[in-house]
Amino acid sequence: MGSSGKKVLFVIVAVLASVLGVAVAHWSSVPDSTQRALVLESPRALPEFNLQDHLGGVFDRSSLKGSWTFMFFGFTNCPDVCPTTLYTLDQALDRIDENDPGSQPTVVMVSVDPIRDDAQKLAGYLPYFDQSFVGVTGEMPEIMGLTSAMGVAFAYTPIPGDDGAYTVDHTASIFLVDPEGRLAAIFGTPHEASVLAADYRRIVDSS
């Protein structure tokens, strides 16, 4: 596929993901007990996918089972939103651990820039924020299947004056996946560590 075809494809992905995001919002509610989280009335099962974690292991739907998971979609070359969000998630984990030691969720960042973000690059990036964070990459069709199902929009944008360079515009929401591997809640921006921690605790306690 040529470069023009790829650009069209990514635009389509972004549009479809946006539509799905609206559908998720329609099927969801915001309980009085949460400050920011959009909680699904019924947790939604995720599709099968086959990706790779930053240690080179398989990361698929079964990898999300057994614990609560904060999922974020970003890329290592992101200049602002991604590092800020990962830092906030690290601070949220500290607050969760203070109130209930040992109950921390897993944090997973799925790269929407797999061309540049291989496992080795993610392995050098995520520990800057927290040693426990998991980076995920893989083939574009697998990533597109997951982002479309979760309502994540992303598109590649060329950087003017820098031949071949590009950035990635993407949804900055944080997604909460329950221990059954189902999408349970969505946290919209702006993200605040104290709010993430408090809403997470309320959702877990009410599940």
CA torsion through residues 4, 9, 10, 14, sign: positive
Please state, in angstroms and rounded to a whole number, the distance separating the CA atoms of residues 24 and 64: 20
pLDDT score, position 152? 96
pLDDT score, position 29? 47
DSSP code of residue 65? B
> Which CATH superfamily hosts domain 3-206?
Glutaredoxin (3.40.30.10)
DSSP 158-190: E-TTSTT-EEEEE---EEEE-TBSEEEEEEPSS
The type of residue at 51 is: L
Structure token digits, residue 180: 């059954």
Q: What is the helix (H) or strand (E) element at residue 154, kind and residue range?
A: strand 154-158
Low-confidence ranges of the chain (pLDDT < 70): 1-32
Question: What is the residue extent of each domain of the chain?
Answer: 3-206
Please state, in angstroms and rounded to a whole number, the distance separating the CA atoms of residues 79 and 3: 24
Q: What is the helix (H) or strand (E) element at residue 119, kind and residue range?
A: helix 119-125
pLDDT score, position 159? 86
pLDDT in tens, 142-185: 999 999 999 999 999 998 877 778 999 999 999 999 999 999 99
